[in-house]
Each structure stands twice: as structure tokens, then as C-alpha cells.
């Protein structure tokens, strides 16, 4: 005799096991990083804005940093004119990380979530971990 019940039960167990890794991850994957922008330097700003819009920075800060490096190192140009006309000194340490002095709570939270580990800090000086 053919036992439909047992087979169905077996299939359900099988499905539960093979999909477990996915739903077991759901909680973790949904904990989106919340990069903190409450640094002393940012608190002093009258307008809480980055060199470009937040959406642009979120998507393009890596390319922007590459452009900055090429501009400074190859072009010898250390002034960045933002799309709103404001001028910034091209410097990872003295510009980006002066505002974002909380590298751990800002850059690093996002990067560990995204699984990227920029090698910049092999050479560039990051703010001390304890500094907020
Ligand atoms: C092997 C060492 C090294 C690594 C790794 C490195 N840089 Fe640099 N970077 C330099 C040097 C040297 C300069 C030139 C400094 C100068 O002329 O003032 C520079 C200049 C720059 C500049 C322009 C000037 C400044 O002071 O910020 C930017 C922006 C920059 N790097 C970004 C990056 C980024 C982003 C990464 C990681 C993706 C990175 N660098 C990794 C060595 C390095
Ligand atoms: C004048 C201070 C200042 C400077 C300089 C600055 N930032 Fe920002 N940055 C901010 C502020 C404020 C925000 C939040 C903007 C908002 O919420 O609209 C921000 C947002 C961002 C974001 C988006 C964060 C998110 O929640 O999505 C990234 C990424 C970022 N900055 C990277 C950089 C990099 C890289 C540099 C250097 C090229 C830089 N910032 C220079 C103040 C600054
Ligand atoms: C809102 C989240 C977020 C914040 C905040 C953030 N990053 Fe990133 N960053 C990312 C993501 C996601 C990537 C990977 C993008 C990709 O691979 O296309 C990345 C990639 C990079 C890269 C290129 C690394 C590589 O190996 O390709 C550099 C350089 C970098 N970030 C620098 C910074 C610096 C410096 C800060 C702090 C001032 C910062 N980021 C803040 C999300 C963030």
C-alpha cells in the first residue's frame, strides 16, 4: 500500500530543513545599520548636510573618494566644488573624518553590515576608537 500521509510528512520536514538557513537569517539581515551622525563637528553645523545629498553619498561615496584621491594625487587639485557650489578641502582624514569622527559608529557599522572592509586605513589615519 502506498502511504501518502507519511510521504507528505517527509516532504514537509525536508522543506523545513532546507529553508531553515533562510528564515533563520531574516531577523539578522533586517537589522539595518543606523550610521550615527551625532558628532561634535556635525552638531555645530547649521545645516546638517554632507558634501553632497544623503542619497548621493549613500550610493556614491566610494566613487567620490576615488575621484578625490585622483584629483589630489594625480591632478594636484585639493579643492572640491560640490554641486551646490560649496567648497571643501579634498582630504579623507581632515574633511570626511573631521565631520564623521565616529568612524566606528558611522563608516564601520555600514561596512561590516555590507561585508566590505576598505583598506584605506592601512595608510590613512583613522580617528581614535574612543573618540566620538
Ligand atoms: C598604500 C597606502 C594608501 C592606501 C592603502 C590608501 N591611500 Fe589614499 N593616499 C595615500 C597617499 C600617500 C596619499 C597622498 C597624500 C598627500 O599627497 O597628501 C593619499 C591621498 C588620498 C586622498 C587625497 C588626499 C587626502 O589627504 O585625503 C584621498 C581622498 C585618498 N587617498 C583616499 C583613499 C581611500 C578612499 C582609500 C581606500 C579605498 C585609500 N586612500 C587608500 C596612500 C594610501
Ligand atoms: C560638513 C560635515 C561633513 C563632511 C565634510 C562630510 N560629511 Fe558625510 N554626512 C554629513 C551629514 C550631516 C550627513 C547626514 C546627511 C543627511 O542626513 O541628510 C552625512 C551623510 C553621509 C553619508 C550617508 C549616511 C547615510 O545614513 O546614508 C555618507 C556615506 C557620508 N556622509 C560619507 C562621507 C564621506 C565619504 C565624506 C568625505 C568625502 C563626508 N561624508 C564628508 C556631514 C559631513
Ligand atoms: C550608509 C552606509 C555606509 C556608510 C555610512 C559608509 N559606507 Fe562606505 N560603503 C558602503 C557600502 C554598502 C559599500 C560597498 C559598496 C559596493 O561594494 O558597491 C561601501 C564601500 C566603501 C568604499 C569602497 C571599498 C571597496 O572595497 O570597494 C570606501 C573607500 C568607503 N566605503 C569609505 C567610507 C568611509 C570613509 C565612510 C565614513 C566616512 C563610509 N564609507 C561610510 C556603505 C557605507
What is the pLDDT, as a whole number, of residue 93?
A: 96
Nearest CA owner, ligand 3 atom 5 = 107
- Tell me how far the alpha carbon of residue 129 lies from the centroid of ligand 1, in angstroms: 20
Measured between alpha carbons, how far is residue 46 from residues 21, 34, 42 in Å? 47, 22, 9
- The full length of the chain comes to 132
Ligand 1 interacting residues, C-beta cut-off 6 A: 65, 68-69, 72-73, 90-93, 118-120, 122-124
Band (pLDDT 50/70/90 cuts) for residue 130 is: very low
State yes or no: pLDDT of 96 exceeds 70.
Answer: yes
How much is the CA Rg of the chain, to the nearest whole Å?
A: 23
What is the pLDDT, as a whole number, of residue 131?
A: 42
Comparing C-alpha atoms, which of 93, 90, 89 is closest to residue 107? Answer: 93
Name, in order, each residue with C-beta under 8 angstroms of 117's C-beta and a sequence gap of 6 or more.
111
Compute the mean pLDDT over every residue in the chain, rounded to the nearest whole number.
87
Higher pLDDT, 30 or 74: 74
> How far is 35 from 46, CA to CA, in rounded Å?
20
What is the pLDDT, as a whole number, of residue 128?
A: 74
Band (pLDDT 50/70/90 cuts) for residue 22 is: low
Average pLDDT of span 29-54: 91
Nearest CA owner, ligand 3 atom 42 = 110
Average pLDDT of span 82-90: 98
10 Å Cβ neighbour count for 68?
A: 22
35 Cβ inside 6 Å of ligand 3: yes
> How far is 10 from 54, CA to CA, in rounded Å?
50
State yes or no: pLDDT of 76 exceeds 90.
Answer: yes
Amino acid at each position: 500500500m502506498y502511504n501518502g500521509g507519511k510521504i507528505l510528512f517527509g516532504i514537509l520536514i525536508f522543506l523545513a530543513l532546507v529553508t531553515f538557513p533562510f528564515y533563520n537569517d531574516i531577523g539578522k539581515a533586517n537589522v539595518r545599520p543606523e550610521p550615527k551622525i551625532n558628532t561634535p563637528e556635525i552638531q555645530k553645523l547649521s545645516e546638517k548636510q554632507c558634501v553632497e545629498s544623503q542619497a548621493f553619498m549613500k550610493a556614491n561615496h566610494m566613487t567620490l573618494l576615488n575621484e578625490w584621491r585622483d584629483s589630489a594625487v594625480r591632478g594636484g587639485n585639493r579643492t572640491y566644488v560640490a554641486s551646490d557650489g560649496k567648497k571643501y578641502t579634498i582630504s579623507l582624514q581632515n574633511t570626511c573624518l573631521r565631520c564623521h569622527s565616529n568612524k566606528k559608529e558611522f563608516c564601520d557599522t555600514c561596512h561590516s553590515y555590507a561585508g566590505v572592509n576598505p583598506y584605506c586605513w592601512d595608510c590613512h589615519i583613522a580617528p581614535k576608537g574612543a573618540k566620538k
